[in-house]
Structure 1
Amino acid sequence: MSPYILGIDVGTTSVKVVLLETGSRAVSASHTLPTKSDISDTSGIKAKEQDPDRIVHALNRCIGFLPRDKLQHVSSIGLSGQMHGVLFWKAKSGCDWSKGDFFTAKDTSQLITWQDGRCSTHFLSNLPKPDSHLSVATGFGCATIFWFMKHRPEFLEDFTVAGTIQDYVVSMLCGLDGCVMTPQNAASWGFFNTSTNQWNIDILKGARFPLHLLPQCVPSGGVAGRTCSDWHGIPAGTPVAVALGDFQCSVYSCMSARSDAVLNISTSAQLTFAMPADFKPPESPQPASSISYFPYFDDSYLAVAASLNGGNALATFVEMLSGWMKELGAEQSDSCLYEKLINCALNQESSDLRVSPTILGERHNPLCLGQVSNISTTNLSLGHLTRALCCGVLDNITSMMPLERLQQAGVSRIVGSGSALARNQVLRQEVEKAFPQPVVYGQNADSAVGVAMVLCDLL
């Protein structure tokens, strides 16, 4: 039997695992499960947290659905996951392997996710200026640690290690005392210089930042260690790569030519293309810019318009309508309601209603919230509103990455991907209206597949 690479993506709402056959580079088996890990915020600080025990439980269940005879032939394991967020744990006691060939979370904090809003604009403005081309925003690991330093310093005393959720899984699989992190995830934390691949140690030390919580940075594609125990049939001693960013892996899975731009609309939305090999990012942050430059592979960069508002804006609309209907005594499931809204919008080919869906703001403009305008008596139907909302998602992302910028970069086609695009025909119609380049589907961005492909190419 040919060896397999196990690709794992620990996403914001779900976990996905794939087995990639190394010879054919074909996906032999895969499984996805929702984590159902969100924790209700009762603090009033705009916290967005998840329960890591539920995430690890969903991961274990996912692996358990894969064919055990193939898991026994896994030659290496790669992980990607949601970026920016931070999880804290205690070295040497961050999990429990006593329940058989899987581990459970132990002695960890809650996962503070990339959607966390506790760091206000005022708070961020008082942080030291980073030595990096990337700005620091709420939800970024270092910003969150600074927040705890000011508001709950005793919280940090309980932990000795910090990392992203995918870094945590790598550490537990390998039995590491600390945390290793790639530049892809380190850049998403802030206070990391991608040109030197080093943390801003002097700047952070001057701000009395707990430097011991910073992970050790190692190159993307490197090996973190080997599995310390059998895991669902995967033998102990199997190499585990250092975790990568889910965004970079999703792009890797579907960008087949440098002239491609990838538009991904899932929970959030991103539009990206590859910069030339000799590109160097600016020396300092450009906080007002809607375009960021993310480290990719082989010292290259992606130009990225990363919107906080994508499929989550549509989901919020559905939740709002569902809540109204519940109050009126006419309940329907969210999934049923979503389908009916799409059908209404398909019967409404266009709308003069204008919806700006930036209900979460944007990192480059956090105070710009959602708006509905050009309201008249003739455009208040659900078809009009749903069509306008889908159009608004595209208007927002193309305002962040202007079409002229794509043309200057030589982009010849748009690769459309993501769960929201796959599910929503109206959204696909609006994508095809928004871009002069041809739009192709079928090469769906998939972080779990992408991380497995990266390891396969490195073998």
Structure 2
Amino acid sequence: MSVHAPGPRYVLGVDIGTTSVKVLLLEAKSQAVVESQTRETGAELSSPEGEQAREQDVGQIVSALHCCVTALPRERLCRVARIGVSGQMHGVVLWNEEGCKWQETEAGFTFQPGKTSHLVTWQDGRCYHAFLASLPQPDSHLALASGFGCATIFWYTRNRHQFLQNFTAAGTIQDYVVAALCGLRKPLMSAQNAASWGYFNTRCGTWNLRILTESGFPTRLLPDIMESGSVAGMTFREWCGVPKGTEVGVALGDLQCSVYSCMANKTDAVLNISTSAQLCFALPPDFQPPDCPNTTSSIAYFPYLDRTYLAVAATLNGGNVLSCFVSMLKQWMQEFGLDVPDCTIYSQAITSALSVTHTELVVEATVFGERHLPGRLGCITNISPSSLSLGHVTRALCHGVVHNLHSMLPGQRLAESGVRRIVGSGSALARNPVLKQELEKIFTLPIVYREMADSAVGVAMVMLDRV
């Protein structure tokens, strides 16, 4: 690791999530997190494509990133020797040669989006089932789904073809940040993020170029592929106090980085409940995924590091289900002329649920459907007058979130695969003791919680350990 200034050396870890940005400084020698900042992006946008579209303002995301970085001590930023960037998988942002404009501020040089599209996130639903069925079959073990980068670009190709002519490059939001920091004319993408886009063969590490070209896909937009954990380049100028020439890793997936931050043993399974939720465990080094996707399977095999794989049950229903519940309650109260803050509603719901140890109410918490069961939505059964209190409904909702995960990857399957304990992490799990109680009821394996387990920590550790 090169040294730009005397004193302790640091790795800057960046995670660009669905709703917030987090940055931290990891001290190289002790591997301790010494500084951390988090900002909500407030980047959600309405889209002319309708209710199913999920888009975000790239400028808002970049602004939140700069707020976080500039809030870190400048005397430590000047000692950063490496930068690791992770972020929300599957989504896509498009840009061209003017996609980034640098400017000098009191905090140093920062960049602002130039000619970029909105970020179409992993939550996007415009690629409905019939549209996906009309696309060519990928040469990949991973099934295609709405919100995947290649599916979204196909949608633009067929519905707004002229729109794509404005751009020369595409990537995830984290790929865009790395390209901006390194001054890359053509973006680089890790196998982790490429696999999350679709039409990528993880065995040979290449895009399905023939299939895509024959189907009219604009392959000129696709990033070049790099091995996960490698260096994409160096900062081509000083950034918010971080020195010019600092190594920047190729962007990684937030799931894999979250796992890396807290999987102390290969016999650990990692459960993350944030906006969505994932339960996963590491597969043996000789594991190879099947040739074709199993669209009805609840388990997918995602590339990890060193060409190994994670077995992943990735549900679309996590903390977002609870947020939806809070929004519903807030709307009801507004209709009665009351304006109660979201945090107050959430806190009272959890408090009420803690007083209820058991409920007969059953909530199937698949409000946002599932990729392997696209037609499945939420359902409430076994309703009785005694189970309609706020505590009963909140308890049943938390149980439903955990039960859905267990149905996708049962505890017995984990044990049979050699898993000895579950490591729980994620913002929704950390702030919700009811979720923890339901988790411990449903899964019989020992469970430990890691408050510091997150993607920003994980990507910093990857840059420290593996480059």
TM-score with structure 1 setting the length: 0.98
Deviation at 1:226, TM superposition (A): 1.0
TM alignment of 1:113-152, pairs within 5 A: 113-152=121-160
2:32 counterpart of 1:18: no
Q: Is the 8 A contact 1:264 1:445 kept in 2?
A: no
2:337 counterpart of 1:336: no
Deviation at 1:39, TM superposition (A): 0.5
For residues 147 and 450 of structure 2, the distance between their equivalents in structure 1, rounded to whole angstroms, comes to 32
2:86 counterpart of 1:62: no
Q: Quote the residue 1:97 is aligned against.
A: 102
2:36 counterpart of 1:30: yes
Q: Is the 8 A contact 1:272 1:303 kept in 2?
A: yes
Q: Quote the residue 1:214 is aligned against.
A: 222
Q: Is the 8 A contact 1:79 1:166 kept in 2?
A: yes
TM alignment of 1:381-420, pairs within 5 A: 381-420=389-428
What residue ranges of structure 2 are gaps of 5+ in the alignment? 1-6
Deviation at 1:41, TM superposition (A): 3.6
For residues 43 and 212 of structure 1, the distance between their equivalents in structure 2, rounded to whole angstroms, comes to 25
Q: Quote the residue 1:309 is aligned against.
A: 317
For residues 430 and 298 of structure 1, the distance between their equivalents in structure 2, rounded to whole angstroms, comes to 35
Q: Deviations over 1:107-139 (max 9, x none)?
A: 000000000000000000111000000000000
Q: Deviations over 1:405-452 (max 9, x none)?
A: 111111111111111111111111001101111111135421011001
> What letter is aligned with 1:84?
H
Q: Decide which of 111, 116, 133 is 1:108's aligned counterpart.
A: 116
> What letter is aligned with 2:426?
G
TM alignment of 1:22-421, pairs within 5 A: 22-44=28-50, 46-91=52-97, 93-100=98-105, 101-421=109-429
Deviation at 1:223, TM superposition (A): 1.2
For residues 40 and 322 of structure 1, the distance between their equivalents in structure 2, rounded to whole angstroms, comes to 20
Deviation at 1:45, TM superposition (A): 5.0
For residues 203 and 442 of structure 1, the distance between their equivalents in structure 2, rounded to whole angstroms, comes to 43
What residue ranges of structure 1 are gaps of 5+ in the alignment? none
Give me the identity figure in percent: 57
Greater shift in the superposed pair: 397-406 or 112-121: 397-406
For residues 458 and 121 of structure 1, the distance between their equivalents in structure 2, rounded to whole angstroms, comes to 40
Q: Deviations over 1:252-304 (max 9, x none)?
A: 00000011111111100110011111100011011110000000000110000
For residues 334 and 102 of structure 1, the distance between their equivalents in structure 2, rounded to whole angstroms, comes to 33
Q: Is the 8 A contact 1:415 1:443 kept in 2?
A: no
Q: Quote the residue 2:11 is aligned against.
A: 5
For residues 383 and 3 of structure 1, the distance between their equivalents in structure 2, rounded to whole angstroms, comes to 49
Q: Quote the residue 1:450 is aligned against.
A: 458
Deviation at 1:376, TM superposition (A): 1.3
For residues 407 and 266 of structure 1, the distance between their equivalents in structure 2, rounded to whole angstroms, comes to 24
Q: Deviations over 1:44-71 (max 9, x none)?
A: 2510000000000110110001110111
For residues 377 and 254 of structure 1, the distance between their equivalents in structure 2, rounded to whole angstroms, comes to 43
For residues 138 and 291 of structure 2, the distance between their equivalents in structure 1, rounded to whole angstroms, comes to 10
For residues 69 and 169 of structure 1, the distance between their equivalents in structure 2, rounded to whole angstroms, comes to 23
> What letter is aligned with 1:236?
K
> What letter is aligned with 2:102?
W
Alignment CA distance shift 1:327-1:42 (3 Å):
farther
Q: Quote the residue 2:4 is aligned against.
A: none
TM alignment of 1:424-439, pairs within 5 A: 424-439=432-447
Q: Is the 8 A contact 1:348 1:384 kept in 2?
A: yes
Deviation at 1:43, TM superposition (A): 3.3
- Secondary structure, counterpart of 2:228 in structure 1: coil
Q: Deviations over 1:135-169 (max 9, x none)?
A: 00000000000000111001101100000000000
> What letter is aligned with 1:85?
G
> What letter is aligned with 2:372?
H
- Secondary structure, counterpart of 2:386 in structure 1: coil
Q: Is the 8 A contact 2:262 2:450 kept in 1?
A: no
Q: Is the 8 A contact 1:132 1:285 kept in 2?
A: yes
For residues 256 and 399 of structure 2, the distance between their equivalents in structure 1, rounded to whole angstroms, comes to 26
> What letter is aligned with 2:79?
H
Q: Deviations over 1:45-99 (max 9, x none)?
A: 51000000000011011000111011101111110000000000002x1111123
> What letter is aligned with 1:454?
V
For residues 178 and 306 of structure 1, the distance between their equivalents in structure 2, rounded to whole angstroms, comes to 30
Deviation at 1:324, TM superposition (A): 0.3
For residues 251 and 402 of structure 1, the distance between their equivalents in structure 2, rounded to whole angstroms, comes to 19
Q: Is the 8 A contact 2:317 2:365 kept in 1?
A: yes
> What letter is aligned with 2:438?
E
For residues 163 and 365 of structure 2, the distance between their equivalents in structure 1, rounded to whole angstroms, comes to 35
- Secondary structure, counterpart of 1:98 in structure 2: strand
| Number of positions where the alignment pairs a residue of Structure 1 with one of Structure 2 | 458
For residues 444 and 232 of structure 1, the distance between their equivalents in structure 2, rounded to whole angstroms, comes to 25
For residues 339 and 381 of structure 2, the distance between their equivalents in structure 1, rounded to whole angstroms, comes to 28
Greater shift in the superposed pair: 43-52 or 164-173: 43-52
> What letter is aligned with 1:30?
S
